[in-house]
Structure 1
Amino acid sequence: MYKDNIVPANEATHVAKADRTSNAGDLWSWSAEDLAAAIKRKDITSREATLSALERISDVNPKINAVAEVLAEEALRAADAADAAVQRGEHLAILHGVPVTTKINVDLAGHATTNGVLAFKDKLAATDSPPVKNFRRSGAVIIGRTNTPSFSFRWFTENDLHGRTYNPWDKAHTPGGSSGGAASAVASGIGALAHGNDIAGSVRYPAYACGVLGLRPTFGRIPSIAEYGRGVTAAIMAVEGVLGRSIKDVSIGLEAMVFPDARDPWYVPAPLSFAGADAPCKVALFSGNATYKPDASVAAALKNAAEALTAAGYVVEEIELPDFAEGQDLWSQLVINEWRDTLGAAAMQLGDDRIKRKFQDWSDLVPRISVTEFSAAMCVRERIAIAWQHLLETHPVILMPNSWELPMMLDRDQGGLDAIREILHIQSPMLLPALLGLPGLSVPTGLSNGVPAGVQIVAGRFREDQCLAAGRVIEAAHPMQTPIDPRGF
Structure 2
Amino acid sequence: MKITMNQTSSPEKRPVWTWSAREIAAQVRSGQMTATAVIDAHLERINFVNPSVHALTVVFTEQSRALAQEIDRRISQGDSVGALAGVPFSVKENLDLTWSATTDGWSHLSNAVPSTNATVVQRMLDAGAIPIGRGNMPPKGLRWDTDNELFGRTYNPWARDRVAGGSSGGDAVAIATGMVSFGLGNDYGGSLRLPAYAGGVCALRPSAGRVPIGMPPGEPVAMTGQLFAVNGPIARTIDDLDTAFALMNGADGIDPLALTIPHPDHYEGLRAAAVVRNPLGWGVDREVAHAIDQAADALVNAGWEIEDIEPPFLEEAANLWRELSVTELAGLFAPGVLPAPMDTDATAYCVDNASETKLLDSVEAYSNGWGRRYLVAAAWEKFQSRHPVILGPVSARRMPRIGYDLSGPEATTQLWRDHRLLVSVNLLGLPSVALPTGLDADGIPSGVQLIGPRNGEHVALAAARDVFAALGSPAPVDPRQ
> TM-score under structure 1 normalisation?
0.92
Counterpart in the other structure of 2:425: 433
After superposition, give the CA deviation of every residue in 1:45-100 in whole Å (9 maximum; x if it has no partner).
Answer: 11110111111110000001000011111111111111112122222221111111
Residue 128 (structure 1) aligned with residue 117 (structure 2): yes
2:352 corresponds in structure 1 to: 361
CA distance in 1 between counterparts of 2:226 and 2:452 reads 20
Is residue 484 of structure 1 aligned with residue 477 of structure 2?
Answer: yes
Q: Can you list the C-alpha shifts for 1:381-407, whole angstroms capped at 9, x where unaligned?
A: 000000000010001110011010111
Distance in 2 between the 1:435 and 1:347 partners? 25
Whole-angstrom CA distance in 2 between matches of 1:211 and 1:349: 36
Q: Helix, strand or coil: the match of 2:242?
A: helix
* CA 33–117 in structure 1, closer or farther in 2 if over 3 Å, else same: same
Which residue of the partner structure matches residue 377 of structure 2? 385
Shifted more, 248-257 versus 51-60: the winner is 248-257
Q: Is the 8 A contact 1:95 1:256 kept in 2?
A: no
Q: CA deviation at 1:156?
A: 0.5
Distance across 2 between alignment mates of 1:457 and 1:291 = 19
Which amino acid in 2 is paired with 1:356? Answer: T
Report the Cα offset of residue 341 of structure 1: 1.9
- Alignment-mate amino acid for residue 68 of structure 1: T
Contact 2:124 2:248 (8 Å CA) reproduced? yes
User: Which deviates more, 132-141 or 257-266?
Assistant: 257-266
Residues 213 and 246 in structure 1, CA contact (< 8 A), matched pair in contact too:
yes
Contact 1:400 1:456 (C-alpha < 8 Å) held by counterparts: yes
Q: Structure 1 residue aligned with 2:412, among 411, 416, 420? A: 420
Q: Give how far 1:434 is off.
A: 0.5
Q: What CA distance in whole angstroms lies between the structure 1 residues aligned with 2:79 and 2:333?
A: 44
Kept in 1, the 8 Å contact 2:201–2:474? The answer is: no
Please say which of residues 24-33 and 261-270 is displaced more in the overlay: 24-33
Shift of 1:103: 0.4
The whole-number CA distance in structure 2 between the counterparts of 1:344 and 1:366 is 17
Instruction: Please list, as runs of the form range in 1=range in 2, the aligned pairs for 1:66-465 lying within 5 A after superposition.
Output: 66-227=55-216, 228-273=219-264, 277-278=267-268, 281-288=271-278, 291-342=281-332, 349-368=340-359, 369-448=361-440, 449-465=442-458
Q: Distance in 2 between matches of 1:291 and 1:302?
A: 15
Residue in 2 aligned with 1:12?
Answer: none
Partner of 1:18: none
Give aligned pairs, total.
465
Structure 2 vs 1, CA of residues 289 and 337 (structure 1 numbering), >3 Å: closer, same or farther?
Answer: closer
Q: Secondary structure at the match of 1:163?
A: coil
Task: State the alpha-carbon separation in 1 of the partners of residues 279 and 168 from structure 2.
Answer: 29
Please report the TM-score for the alignment, with normalisation by the length of structure 2: 0.93
Task: Give the direction of change, closer, same or farther, for the CA distance of 1:41–1:86 in structure 2 (3 Å limit).
Answer: same
> Taking structure 1 as reference, are residues 144 and 245 closer, same or farther at Cα in structure 2, changes over 3 Å only?
same
> 1:324 deviation in Å?
1.0
Please say if residues 273 and 463 of structure 1, whose CA atoms lie closer than 8 Å, have aligned partners that are also in contact.
no
Aligned partner of 1:472: which letter? R
Contact kept? 1:24, 1:48, Cα under 8 Å:
no
Unpaired runs of at least 5, structure 2: 1-11
1:101–1:144 contact (8 Å) kept in structure 2: yes
Identity %: 34
Report deviation, 1:230.
2.0
The superposition leaves residues 230-264 of structure 1 with CA deviations (integer Å, 9 ceiling, x where unpaired) of 22111111000101011111111112212532221
Q: Secondary structure at the match of 2:331?
A: coil
Q: Distance in 2 between matches of 1:80 and 1:314?
A: 46
Residue aligned with 1:328, SS:
helix
Aligned residues: CA RMSD:
1.8
* 8 A contact 1:72–1:143 mirrored in 2: yes
Output the CA distance in 2 between the equivalents of 1:437 and 1:25. 38
CA deviation map 1:121-172 (0-9, x unaligned):
1111111111211111111000001100111111100001111001111111
Moved over 3 A (4+): 342-349
**Alignment partners' CA distance in 2, 1:483 and 1:98:** 16
Return 390-399 or 90-99, whichever deviates more.
90-99
Deviation by residue 1:320-372 (Cα, 9 ceiling, x = unmatched): 22111111110111111122223777679522111010111111222332122
Letter in 1 for 2:470: A
Question: For residue 34 of structure 1, what is the amino acid of its counterpart?
Answer: E
1:25 is displaced (CA, Å) by: 8.7
Contact 1:194-1:243 at 8 Å conserved across structures: yes
How far, CA to CA, are the matches of 2:275 and 2:402 in structure 1? 30
- 1:433-487 deviation per Cα after TM superposition (whole angstroms, max 9, x unaligned): 1000000110100011211101110011111111111111111111113111115
Q: Which moved more, 1:34-43 or 1:90-99?
A: 90-99
| CA distance in structure 2 between the aligned counterparts of 1:280 and 1:389, rounded to whole angstroms | 15
The one-letter amino acid of 1:450's match is G
Separation in structure 2 between the aligned mates of residue 224 and residue 471 of structure 1, nearest angstrom: 24
